[in-house]
A and B are shown apart, each in its own frame.
Chain A
Amino acid sequence: MADSFANVSILYALPWNTDVVSAVAFIGNDKVAAANRRGDILIWNLPATGDKTPDPARRLIGHTGPVNRLLVSADGKTLISASNDRTVKFWDALKSDGNPGTIFMNDGYKFVGPTEGVAKLPVLPSPITAKVVEQKPIREFTGHKEWIWGLALSRDGKTLVSGDDAKQVILSDAQTGAEQRRWKVKHWVRSLDISPDGKLVVTAEQFPFIRDGDTDVGLHGWDAQTGEMKFDATKQFEASKVLNVGPTSFRFSDNGKHLAVCMGHIDRDGPAGKVFLLNPTTGEKVRELTPSHLRGATDLAFHPDGEHLFTCGRDRAIKIWRLSDGTQVHEITLSQDKNKKSGPFTPTLHAISISPDGKLLAVADSSGQVVVCTLEDRKK
């Protein structure tokens, strides 16, 4: 597989220009779910061949605020979403029936760069619609009182971990929704994960601006049973201030051997999108992966082969790293409209997901699309 990463190619660019596409997750190997900041979730069935761009098949209705995270249970049966509407919602990932509906796919904006001159809503292009099946959540978790950015599920599927802007981390029973325990962290939770053995919860925290330019950041490990802090990985980065742009994603590999974090909650000039591998037990830095993303790294995903890490960023790049030595083995930069400005006004790749079989990659592209790539060499 590693050799074929050099021949990654776009399989589908699924247009969805309604609002910023903010989250993405594979359901099995032939479906992809994506969410936007309007609170919609769409699911596409991906044909085996890339000859025709598919329309979305399902629309999941229920969130009333932006969706920040999507994940799918290990058995592939449940899709879970976390939102600014203060809820975590659970959806039947495989159900195909529901109420028929129609969705507009292009009623958003095409603004890139400063828009001072825009004096009214632009005339929208001719509507592009799609016939979808509309579905509602099967249950929801309402234990949060603030925006939820942290979302993880234990590998056995039994425990949901979620974290919010009220600095609360909550463990709950994924089936019943019963809250098991909660504890308070130092700043807003931007990302979290639970170790494959279920013993450790890691949180990436941030609160921008309270010190007028600096950023309050935390990278912590917590005992999942007690909420006791097991490590503070923040201090080792204080001198370099590389964390000041804020962590965006903090995850264990499924085999538990690796813990990775990336930076880029704030868009900042230069190579601000740092990616680090940490010791999964102590939080100590193992290595920095270079070269960094420009302007910020926004999400990361471990490849199922256990040997590679994928990251995406504000520079529209997808980077593929070899975990054994930290080498960047490949980089893909998604092109953009030639009329769009580059630099700080470049649309961002917000989220990344890899299919369970490791053959497909999907990214949530804020320019109004979900991009699905094949990781296999199609020429073979």
Chain B
Amino acid sequence: MLKSTLVTAGGMAVANWGALTHSQTLAAEVKRSGKRCIMLYMAGGVSQIDTFDMKPGRPTGGEFRPISTKVPGIQVCEFLPNIARHADKLGIIRSMRTKTPDHGPGGYYMHTGYHPGERFPHPEVGAMIAKYCENPESDLPSFVKIGSKSGVYGAGYLGPQYEPFVTDDDGKLPGFANPSVSPEIMGRRGELLNFMEKRFAEQCSGDPFAAHRSAELRTIRLMRARQTFDVSAEWEKAKDRYGDSKFGRGCFTALKLVEAGVSFVEVAHGNYDTHNDNFPWNKANFAVMDPAWGSLMDDLTQRGLLQDTLVVWTSEFGRTPAINVRAGRDHYGRAWTVVLAGGGIKGGQHYGSTDRDGFEVAENPVGEADLLATIYKAMGVNHRAKHFLGSRPIWVTPEGSTPIKELVG
């Protein structure tokens, strides 16, 4: 049974929850691009100087050495050899300048493009992409978070149907997702539930019930599609390449999900909050992150998925160029790095730069909203599309935000 059938059987209108109304023009603007996005989120704030904006020979350079890649002028950390192989696909934004060095607000900013203090919640990027890029006929969730380390900021004004579906850190479904009865019985139970709730829904159309009903419907759909999350058999062959870690398995699950049509998958890794002993910590982090990300790029390329799959490597902020007295690096938003690949991104290039010690952006500063505008542009989503909360207009990204045309055209 397809999602649309279920929705009809349940007597529910799953769009336009509560006070949110979308303009007619907006509805007409909606385009299903067929594109997908995988966001690799380095929780805790990842160091730019120890990864993609190295400063060898400078006091801020730290303990890692750069290695060359096949792209002249692009060097990466010696402990990222698998990413280095894909340098020709990477759009390395070295000039992120973001507004907060605190974990919570930084995470919100980097997921929404908006200040966390605003009165109404904005949807995070995964929810927005799910809205515009999802396959409405699919039983799979359109927005999956593998692990919650990156924070769950929600669908905001888009409504409960775009809330993220959160799995364990390794992409496995919770134990309750394994039903104890046959699909036929599950189906009959669903029909009974739909029958019982139909009249109630006609009489009670409040937000809480809508959210509750949406969760039910999504759960029933998920039970049918749950096998997509079960990568056990293939993982045995893949884990040597991805690394036998939760993040490795999470990246492999993300591959399988986008292959099955999921619009947005976020995989979190960390802890990158290296206030002390930054170098051995990050070396260990990279030993997990690098083979997983590199193998994900390999498989997306080999399966012909990379052109339509945007891969985003990001965090809530970067880390200080200066190394503190505990051999650590602290929070830093004034000049740091995000990497984009695939999804039509023009790879093999740096965008922006920092000064010689990495303290300031030297050219082409990029804010949170500019980054999200770039992501939306690559995904075929109008970053200035207007939504309404009641009569109040809300834009996908704030006024003044601009996609980086050098990366997405």
Q: Is B276 an interface residue (CB 8 A)?
A: yes
Q: Is A121 an interface residue (CB 8 A)?
A: yes
Residues 166-215 of A at the B interface (beta carbon under 8 Å):
207-213
A345 and B334 contact, Cβ closer than 8 Å, known pairs A121-B359, A208-B280: no
Q: Is A301 an interface residue (CB 8 A)?
A: no
A367 touches B359 (CB 8 A): no
Which residues in A have some Cβ–Cβ distance to B below 8 Å? 19-20, 22, 37, 65-66, 84, 107-116, 118-121, 147, 165, 207-213, 265-267, 344-348, 366-368
A212 touches B169 (CB 8 A): yes
Apart from A112-B325, A120-B357, list 19 A-B contacts with CB within 8 A.
A19-B323, A20-B326, A20-B327, A37-B63, A109-B323, A109-B324, A109-B325, A110-B325, A114-B101, A116-B320, A116-B330, A119-B334, A119-B360, A121-B60, A147-B283, A208-B280, A212-B247, A266-B277, A368-B325
| 9-residue interface stretch from B187-195, B223-231, B284-292, B381-389 | B284-292
A348 touches B276 (CB 8 A): yes
B360 touches A209 (CB 8 A): no
B283 touches A165 (CB 8 A): yes
A344 touches B63 (CB 8 A): no
B245 touches A265 (CB 8 A): no
Q: Which residue of B lies closest to A121 (CB)?
A: B357
Residues of B within 8 A of A368 (CB): 325
B276 touches A344 (CB 8 A): yes
Q: Is B332 an interface residue (CB 8 A)?
A: yes
A210 and B287 contact, Cβ closer than 8 Å, known pairs A267-B277, A345-B275: yes
Residues of A within 8 A of B275 (CB): 114, 267, 344-345
B320 touches A210 (CB 8 A): no
Shortest distance from the beta carbon of B76 to any chain A beta carbon, whole Å: 18
Residue from A20, A147, A346 with most neighbouring chain B CB atoms (10 Å): A20
Please tell me the size bucket of the interface on B.
35 or more
B281 touches A115 (CB 8 A): no
Taking a contact as CB atoms closer than 8 A, the residue among A121, A165, A366 that contacts B325 in the complex is: A366
Q: Which residue of B lies closest to A109 (CB)?
A: B322
Interface string of B91-109 (1 = CB under 8 A from A): 0000000000100000000
Report the bound CA distance from A348 to B325 in whole Å. 8
Q: Is B59 an interface residue (CB 8 A)?
A: yes
Report the bound CA distance from A181 to B247 in whole Å. 35
A367 touches B325 (CB 8 A): yes
Residues of A within 8 A of B326 (CB): 20, 267, 345-348, 366
Residue from B276, B281, B283 with most neighbouring chain A CB atoms (10 Å): B276
Taking a contact as CB atoms closer than 8 A, the residue among A108, A165, A211, A367 that contacts B246 in the complex is: A211
Q: Is B377 an interface residue (CB 8 A)?
A: no
Taking a contact as CB atoms closer than 8 A, the residue among B169, B245, B280, B360 that contacts A210 in the complex is: B245
Q: Is B271 an interface residue (CB 8 A)?
A: yes
* A to B CB contacts below 8 Å, 18 in the list: A37-B327, A107-B59, A109-B59, A109-B322, A109-B323, A111-B322, A112-B325, A113-B324, A116-B331, A116-B332, A120-B360, A121-B322, A210-B245, A210-B284, A210-B288, A212-B247, A267-B276, A368-B325
Shortest distance from the beta carbon of B329 to any chain A beta carbon, whole Å: 8
Q: Is B66 an interface residue (CB 8 A)?
A: no
Q: Is B333 an interface residue (CB 8 A)?
A: yes
Residues of A within 8 A of B281 (CB): 208-209, 266
Report the bound CA distance from A114 to B319 in whole Å. 10
Report the bound CA distance from A347 to B101 in whole Å. 22
Q: Which residue of A lies closest to B327 (CB)?
A: A20
Residues of A within 8 A of B330 (CB): 111, 113-116
B285 touches A116 (CB 8 A): no
A212 touches B246 (CB 8 A): yes
Taking a contact as CB atoms closer than 8 A, the residue among A121, A207, A367 that contacts B59 in the complex is: A121
Residue from A109, A115, A345, A347 with most neighbouring chain B CB atoms (10 Å): A115
Residues of A within 8 A of B333 (CB): 116
Report the bound CA distance from A354 to B277 in whole Å. 25
Residues of B within 8 A of A212 (CB): 147, 169, 245-247, 269
Report the bound CA distance from A20 to B287 in whole Å. 24
A209 touches B325 (CB 8 A): no
